[in-house]
Every structure is written in C-alpha cells, then in structure tokens.
Amino acid sequence: MSARRNPIRGGRRSVAVVAVVAALLLAACSGSDDDGAADADGGTTTTVVGGSTPTAASDDPNAGGVGTGAVDWETVDPTEAGFDPTVLEELADDAEAQDSHCLLVARHGRIAGEWYFGDKDEDSTQEVFSATKSLTSILVGIAQDDGDLDIGEPASDQIPEWKGTDSEDVTIRDLLSNDSGRSWSLVQDYVELIRAPDKTAFAIGLTQEHPPGEVWAYNNAAIQTLEQVLQVSTGEQTPDFAEERVLGPIGMDDSELRADGEGNGLAFMGLSSTCRDMARFGQLLLQRGTWDGEQIVSGEYVDEATTPSQELNTAYGYLIWLNRKGTLAGATNPTSTEQTKGQKNAQMVPGAPEELFWALGMGGQVVQVDRASDTVVVRLGTAVTNPEYGADDAARVVTEAFEG
C-alpha cells in the first residue's frame, strides 16, 4: 500500500514549505547541544515486538492493560484485538519505507502490534518535536486543576512584561489555541527562537501582531511563553513539574522534558521519549486523564482540549490536532477568518472518524487516539522524511486494519 497525502500538508507548495521549515530547524538545531534533532539511522533491520503472545480474555477489555494497574505493557494477538494482521503488516511496511523508527498499535491498553526499524528498539529515545506541545497542554490543565491558574485569565498575570502593552489581554486559552495574535514568521519561529539561549525571554519579548482571536498561527514562540506561565503559577521549573505530575506517575521512565541554555523548560518542543512512553501518553488522553485509578488531569480539561478551541481552525484544540470537520489551517502560514471563510467540511483526514485526535511533531512524530475503537497509535521517525509520514497514515490503522 502506498502512503496517502495528508490534506494538511497540501500540494507541492505546502510540501516545499514544510521541507524548508525542516531544513531551517535542523540547521538551527545543529549548532545547539540542548536542541539537537534526532539522529537518522540508515539501517534496514526490522524488529517485531508484540502480537505473538495472546493474553487471556477478560470480561473487562481494559483489565490488566497499561494505565489500569499493570506496570508494563502486555501484548495481545492482533486478531483477538480486532485487527487484520495482514493489513497491520502492510502498514508497518509502509511506515518503514517512510523512514520510521517505530510503529506501535495498542487497543484496550495492550500492544497489538509493535515494530522497530534499523537499529532502533523499545529503549530508543528521540526528540518528538511539536508532540511536546500536547504535553504542555496537559501540564497547563493540571495547573488549572490545582487552582494555580485559570486559562480564561490574561497570561500577563504571569508575564508582567506584557502589562500595559497590546499583549496585556492575551489569555492563556489564546496561547493554547494558537490564536493569540503574537508575532510570527518562519525565520523567527524556526531559526531565531531555536538559536536563542533564553527561549522564554526571546518569546516574551516579541511584539503583538494582531488582536487575539483574529488570526490563527502555529506559533512556537507564543507557545514557549507558556513556560513562564507554568513556572510562575506552580513555583516549579517546568521539566520538574512534568516529571512529578505526568512522566513519573504514568511510567514514562525513559522520557525527559529538556531545558534551554538558560535552564528554562521547553514548551513547544524538547520532549525526548520512546515509542512505548508516547503510547502511555496517548493512553492517558484516551482514558480522559486517569491512570491506575488516579486522576492525573481532569477529564473535563481533556475533553475541552480535544474539541475545537476556536473557529479559525476547527482542527485544533488546546495544542492538540483534531479530525473535526469545519475550517482547516496549516502549520506554516497564519490564517484569518477571511481565508477560511466558506469552509464547512474541511478535515485533517477525510473519511476517518471525526473523534480522532493527535499529538503531532515535525517529521511525522504521531500519537493518535481514537476513543471509539479504544486505540492508540504511535509512530516516531527521522526529522525529515519523503514522503512524510502523517496523521493520514496513522488513521489507516482504524480505517483499514481495525475490524472491531
């Protein structure tokens, strides 16, 4: 089966822009030890893990699955999990052809298929780029649950530099929704921000380009300001907060949220993780924030984060991509109401379930969640692939391989 083109990547112009962005980011990263991109491997060996040791049937499909008390992932035969194993193998072959490091498919908290390519295995860690943003969203939700902040309030409560400026009324929700109106450009976001030793100070110091709510832009710098929002609200460094409240409690033991050259936690990228750890994160979202009986983040926040956060791009919640029909904006150019005017049925992956949602990162880092089928799909790979793996490829697990 050949890979399908994701509508969000658009036609030739969009693909070219994405390639330029990737090149700019990698070039900028290459000169900074703290933001190094994941290394690409040139091997062709495929390691298959899971799917060969069926677990006993249970009246509760989630009983014993990771996130419900089991410490380690259990595996289940893909057929018993409701998948066509032949189709899964074909999808794994496609993933390998697209420079993937791993592909993992889980249902009911158990692994139904797991593949590693080249020299990678279940312990291999790598940068997941903008999939980090979805973790940042959950950290904000936890801080709100704790009463440390309110996403409806101005971010200037935690960012005093914005008091008395055009950014004074930008809310935390605006930053989560990417309609903050903060200054944006490709070079600013993918070169200057990456090279800045103090990324939070750089991001805070940028100007307000539009009133909040008028323009949607995939704005890395604006999202990085959430680092100060979190740090001031919680009184903790963001990497420590992430470890204490998410990574540690759900067993993402091989994951780490890194800091910039000045010790500021990264919010827009910077999570180093494994395929299995990212599947744990997806399982947390699938379970509406619960883990082994503990409410890590409120279900109400997860529900809000995984529904459209504004009308400029209904494919976006709070730093989480959605498959909802409506308006659709890409990641490399700001979009106004006028530009999306008339869109009613645009969709990330046409034909796939509308309830699908994703944590996505450059180079096809994908964590896909589908509550209808109770599945999580993770694909990690090189920073630049051709053709690029995307949400449409991951969606094939539920549209083609899942039989129920």
**Tens digits of per-residue pLDDT, 347-392?**
999 999 999 999 999 999 999 999 999 999 999 999 876 668 999 9
Nearest to 142 by CA among 292, 263, 305, 316: 305
pLDDT of residue 148: 98
Question: What's the pLDDT score for residue 330?
Answer: 85
Residue 162 is encoded by which pair of tokens?
Answer: 């914005």
Which pLDDT score is estimated for 26? 53
pLDDT of amino acid 386: 63
Q: Domains of the chain: which residue ranges?
A: 7-401
- Whole-number Å distance between alpha carbons of 140 and 136: 6
Long-range contacts of 312-315 (CB under 8 A, 24+ apart): 312/179, 312/215, 312/216, 312/336, 312/337, 312/340, 313/178, 313/216, 313/340, 315/8, 315/346, 315/347, 315/348
Query: For residue 357, what pLDDT is reported?
Result: 98
Which pLDDT does position 361 carry in this prediction? 96
pLDDT at 190: 94
Crossing angle for the helix pair 132-145 and 275-286, nearest 10 degrees? 40
pLDDT at 22: 53
Rg (CA), the chain: 20
Q: How many C-beta neighbours within 10 Å does residue 36 have? A: 14
Average pLDDT, the chain: 88
pLDDT tens profile 18-63: 455 555 555 555 444 443 333 333 344 556 654 433 333 345 666 7
Confidence at residue 338, expressed as pLDDT on a 0 to 100 scale: 79
Report the CATH architecture of 7-401: 3-Layer(aba) Sandwich (3.40)
CA angle 396, 354, 322 (to 5 degrees): 90
Question: What stretches in the chain show pLDDT beneath 50?
Answer: 1-16, 18, 30-44, 50-58
Alpha-carbon distance of 374 to 134, in angstroms, equals 19
The string of pLDDT tens digits covering residues 119-141 is 999 999 999 999 999 999 999 99
The structure tokens 């980090």 sit at 132
Q: For the whole model, what pTM was predicted?
A: 0.90
